[in-house]
């Protein structure tokens, strides 16, 4: 018996995993390392921000796992919807912040990474709904 994998959620999981690696490598170099090296901010702010950076890392890892779980199990529709809302909120927050604070693209460009993840997450939900609605109801 073959497992029916949702290809759109699988793509969202792969893209999310790429974001985890980008966050770890470039985020470490461009954000975490300079933050820790800074003497211009207090230790409370510095280590509070560093803690938030690690929280973000954990959230990104769980986002990848969530989309993978949705790819492997079509009955995770509520889980898929929650994960989609999460990724959409991340995208909208970053893009809106850039607009509100009139920031150049490169300052919060990472927000745009969540747009294709959200797009494939949405396609995965549409595919799941069509697939599950085609299955006859148990009598």
User: pLDDT tens across 106-135, in order?
Assistant: 888 999 999 999 999 999 999 888 776 655
Query: CB–CB of 118/108 below 8 Å?
Result: no
pLDDT, tens only, 72-111: 987 778 889 999 999 999 999 999 999 999 999 888 899 9
What pLDDT is stored for residue 75 in this prediction? Answer: 78
**Count of residues in the chain:** 139
Q: Answer yes or no: is pLDDT of 139 > 50.
A: no
Q: Answer yes or no: is pLDDT of 41 > 90.
A: yes
b/e burial code for range 58-84 (CB count within 10 A of at least 16 → b): eebbebbebbbebbebbebeeebeebb
Decide: pTM greater than 0.85. yes
Q: Which has the closest alpha carbon to 35: 43, 25, 46, 26?
A: 46
């Amino acid at each position: 018996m073959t497992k029916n994998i949702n290809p759109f959620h699988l793509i969202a999981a792969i893209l999310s995993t790429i974001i985890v690696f980008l966050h770890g490598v470039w985020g470490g170099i461009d954000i975490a390392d300079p933050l820790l090296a800074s003497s211009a901010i207090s230790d409370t702010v510095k280590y509070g921000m560093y803690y938030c950076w690690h929280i973000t890392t954990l959230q990104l890892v769980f986002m990848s796992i969530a989309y993978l779980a949705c790819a492997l199990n079509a009955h995770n529709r509520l889980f898929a919807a929650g994960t989609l809302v999460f990724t959409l909120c991340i995208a909208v927050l970053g893009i809106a912040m850039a607009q509100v604070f009139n920031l150049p693209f490169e300052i919060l460009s990472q927000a745009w990474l969540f747009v294709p993840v959200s797009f494939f997450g949405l396609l995965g939900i549409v595919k799941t709904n069509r697939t599950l609605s085609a299955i006859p109801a148990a009598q």
